[in-house]
A and B are shown apart, each in its own frame.
Chain A
Amino acid sequence: MIRKLASLALLSLTLAGCGPTEPQTTGGPAVTRRLTESQYRSVIADVFGPQIVVAGRFDPLLRTDGLLTIGAGSATVGAAAFERFHALARSIAAQVTDTTNRDVLVGCGPQDLRTADDSCATEFYSRIGRLLFRRPLTTDEVRDQVKLAREATAVRGDFYTGLAYGLQTLLEAPDFLFVVERANGKQLDDYAKATRLSLLLWNTSPDDVLLQAAEGGKLKTEDGLKQEVDRMIASPRFKDGVRAFFTDMLSLDDTTNLQKDTTLFPAFTLTAANDGKEQTLRTLVDLLVTRNVDYRDIFTTRETHISNALGLIYRVGVNDPSGWSRFDFPSDDPRAGIQSQVGFVALHSHPGKSSPTLRGKAIRELLLCQRVPDPPGNVNFDKFNDPDSPLRTARERLAAHANDPACAGCHKLTDPIGLALENFDGLGQIRDNENGAALDLSGDLDGVKYANGAELAKALHDNPAAASCVVNRAFTYAAGRQTVSDEKAFVVYLEKTFADSGYKFPSLIRRIALSDAFYAVSGQGAGQSPAAAKAGTTEDKS
């Protein structure tokens, strides 16, 4: 911790001293975004404690401009989704007010439990409502819930049962389910600032300290803001924020629906799928936060953490089969970089076999922020299907694609990358042949030739798109929307300072959190977000 604070202090000096200065921006529109599943869960755990069970399915968000977070800016709540939020709210409210939790979480109550207690209800809704709505409740808002609690207490004959109805109302109100951004002139207001900060750094809503800072106007001052940002980055909760960002950037939530043929891949289990995602997140947090190394090392690292379920797939021993163990692949191992881990190679494969095309597409789109067009509708597979020349390896089969001009354009973008990972089968287990034929792992990435996956890892590390991709994603993730043209110079500035910092990820996030650009709102009026709907589902053009 001391070392971390020292390095942060050093970082502050660097920021304050030389180096490029932040270009002026007028900012983009404010965004109203729906809470993501992980944010919802974090908030409930933070406000009420981890013992409250959030049992329910959440409606998927639409990935937009590469991020679910941006999709959240256009998401609404359909009938089925609202039915589920309603059920969740009811279950959470019942748990908070039950005999196990009420003493701690409510903390007050009437002498006679059969009667209403307006002052206790007022205190409770004001305190909890502020944390749920990320701002103090208005008098009317509190009054409405107190009234409902009073009526419900009369019907149900129990104060706490009655209290639950008002809490349920708060939990299904749009003020909770949607993060709305109000502005003060050309800057977000202090509560919106606090919320953006908290979602970015901790993937949850502001804690009491941050809300107090917002209330006291501290976030308006450079020192006050810095104090809060540094407090939050120094906290272990910062890792939650980093995990949420990379879960979104790398589409790791798709692991939930990952399916493999268990006859072909007996080592595939639900645990293995979840552990694959967890391994990648642990690798990233360890490298980027705990050890604060060069971001680009994620493409070449052989240092990771594994569980027994993953040891079965990697076929390596695990020091602690009952949990997670640090594990390093040897320096000549073909396994290098997060793109060689189960969480990536198994995710971007078919249920029964690997897919160089899916893997190549994922590397282009997720790690380099490049757009791979969708396949054309008029594909002719006749050459490919010639029964007289059976094609044994994926390379041979895809070569048939690449010779067809209609297919070649896109497959040339994806396949050479994916083919370098063909020594990992559909589950990510190592292999040295496919259907008995030797594997050729060579190819080139944007002109850099490589002989195998480990060399591809190096090529990714050195590809300028890799660093600019994470900068772009980090800023759009933070803002909850695609960049506007006015922000281009700011993004270039972020890329430059990211490089100058030695590609240190926390430094990038800190710079965003302290920038003026992050809080600037274009002059389209307080809380308006006209571009959110316009953004649609357009993908990056590059």
Chain B
Amino acid sequence: MSRSNILKLGAALALVSAAFAGPALAASGAKSPRTLGYVVTQWDYATYESPFADECPEGLAVGNDEYWWRGLSRADKDKLTNTGLIQPIDRRGTAVLRGPQGEDVCWKPEIVKDPPMRTVKGKLAFGFNLDGTTDGKATPKSCAHEKFTGVDNTPGVDNQVYRLLGCLYGWRRNGVMDAYDDEERRNSGRGVILMEITNVDDARNDDAVDITFYRAIDPFSLDATGKILPYGSYRIDMANGKPRYGATAKGKIVNGVLTTTPIDLSLPYYANSIFAEMRLRDMQFRLELPQGEGKAKGLMGGYYDFDKWWEYMMKAEFLVATGDWSCPAMWEAAHRLADGYPDKDGKCTALSTAFKVEALPAFIVHQDRTAAAR
């Protein structure tokens, strides 16, 4: 569809809301100022992988099963595997129960001590410079930590979640965690994130726009083969008369690239049948907006609240074998690497992170009623 037609349709939507006084619609196009609606189709940790895994010189991290297995006697091993006839997947439930009294080590990660987790030693990463330093020294809102150089050569990039997860099998390119999560969101239509860019006078260059994030209550619009289609309509998840999620950032568009000033916000996170929430601080965005139709692509970065981050990791304990991590080792490493928002004792309570994001044009439906929450 040509640009001019998109404009016409945008006008059509404006008319709809005027004529029926029904819920207003945000469209990917409207006359001055315009609104650009997007539905997020992909939301993955931005991890950098070199061709020969140079960023993990010690190799990939050792997972829970390995530590558990090492701790068993020969007799126990034979009993557990029926001398090789029982597969590891059938041992999943027991493998995490390796506390001294059989405690779950994901629920009590401090109950055993594993060797330190192998983390990223490389210099390159995706992300933003969140603390403003180039050397990673402590500031009032950050703890001392190591810096990366951006894959695009940006100096002083912060991305401690990448440092933590980058050598874990599950989060690498052939791993299953993020790829499966996107797939699951596509199928289930849960945790769908909407982005609405408003006050757009010029979609290519505009020095003042707003970008608001919502959760949708409608599932993705899919084609016959299951691919997500552009131009679907999505209602905003409402609670008590206002959007359940609805943080707005200020931004600008330069040559079709949207950047924002940092904001604190919460976003839904649904993956692996787990409902969780991302609590993000100093979150900023760099989104390349497509000309005409097509996907918006970009990067979002900020500090991920430690407790919220761990909540998901803990709920995902049934995947430790699939993703091959150890809860005690990860818990220890994550505390060690936490670099944002020190508490009164100087201990940091957040991890810098970055996400790769893709989004398709969509119509965002503002309802004038409270919708049922999922």
Contact = CB atoms under 8 A, between A and B. Distances in A.
Contact of A329 (B12, B26, B218, B363): B12
Interface stretch (A125-133, A320-328, A360-368): A320-328
| Residue in B20, B22, B223, B364 whose Cβ sees the most chain A Cβ within 10 Å | B223
Contact of B365 (A268, A309, A314, A318): A318
Contact of B15 (A269, A325, A328, A430): A328
Interface in A116-163: none
Contact of A308 (B6, B19, B233): B233
Interface in A425-484: 429-433
Contacts of A192: none
Contacts of A328: 15-16, 19-20
B224 A317 contact: no
A385 interface: no
A327 B224 contact: no
B232 A430 contact: no
A262 B234 contact: no
B168 interface: no
Interface string A469-509: 00000000000000000000000000000000000000000
A319 B232 contact: no
Contacts of B223: 262, 266-269
Interface in B1-47: 1-2, 4-6, 8-9, 11-13, 15-16, 19-20, 22-23, 25-27
Given A328-B15, A330-B12, A330-B15, A315 B1 contact: yes
B212 interface: no
A333 interface: yes
Contacts of A269: 223-224
B221 interface: yes
Interface string A284-327: 00000000000000000000000011011011111111100111
Interface string A225-261: 0000000000000000000000000000000000000
A326 B20 contact: yes
A270 interface: yes
B233 A270 contact: no
Nearest to A307: B233
A317 B363 contact: yes
Question: Which bracket fits the contact residues of B?
Answer: 35 or more
Contact of A317 (B6, B8, B13, B227): B13
B1 A321 contact: no
A478 to B, nearest CB: 36
Contacts of B19: 328
Interface string B221-233: 1011101011111
Tell me whether chain A's interface is mostly helix, strand or loop, or mixed: loop
A311 B232 CA distance: 7
Contact of B25 (A267, A270, A308, A317): A317
Contact of A319 (B5, B11, B25, B231): B25
A453 to B, nearest CB: 14
B1 A430 contact: yes
A192 B227 CA distance: 53
A178 to B, nearest CB: 39
B235 interface: yes
Contacts of B12: 316, 329-330, 333
Nearest to A331: B15
B4 A432 contact: yes
A21 B230 CA distance: 57
Contacts of B25: 317, 319
A312 B224 contact: no
Contacts of A322: 218
A321 B234 contact: yes
Interface in A489-532: none
A2 B33 CA distance: 45
B16 A312 contact: no
Given A262-B225, A308-B221, A312-B232, A318 B5 contact: no
Contact of B1 (A320, A330, A431): A431
B241 to A, nearest CB: 18
B218 A308 contact: yes
Nearest to B235: A321
Interface in A333-371: 333
A269 B226 CA distance: 10
Given A317-B16, A317-B27, A268 B232 contact: no
Contact of A327 (B16, B235, B365): B16
Contact of B363 (A318, A332, A431): A318
A311 B5 CA distance: 15
B232 A308 contact: yes
Nearest to B29: A315
A215 to B, nearest CB: 48
A381 B125 CA distance: 62
A539 B59 CA distance: 79
B350 to A, nearest CB: 36
B224 A318 contact: no
Interface in A53-99: none
B161 to A, nearest CB: 34
Given A308-B232, A311-B233, A333-B8, A319 B15 contact: no
B235 A267 contact: no
A312 B231 CA distance: 5
B35 to A, nearest CB: 10
A318 B231 CA distance: 10
Given A321-B365, A330-B8, 14 more contacts: A262-B223, A269-B224, A308-B218, A311-B363, A312-B232, A315-B9, A316-B13, A316-B231, A317-B364, A319-B22, A319-B25, A321-B234, A431-B1, A432-B2
Interface of B: 1-2, 4-6, 8-9, 11-13, 15-16, 19-20, 22-23, 25-27, 218, 221, 223-225, 227, 229-235, 363-365
30 contacts: A266-B225, A266-B227, A267-B223, A268-B224, A269-B224, A270-B224, A308-B218, A308-B221, A308-B233, A311-B233, A311-B363, A312-B230, A314-B9, A316-B13, A316-B231, A317-B26, A317-B233, A318-B363, A319-B16, A319-B233, A320-B365, A321-B233, A327-B16, A328-B19, A328-B20, A329-B12, A330-B8, A330-B12, A330-B15, A430-B1
Across the A-B interface, give the 8 residue pairs with the lowest CB-CB distance, nearest first: A317-B363, A317-B25, A318-B233, A266-B223, A321-B233, A321-B218, A315-B231, A330-B15
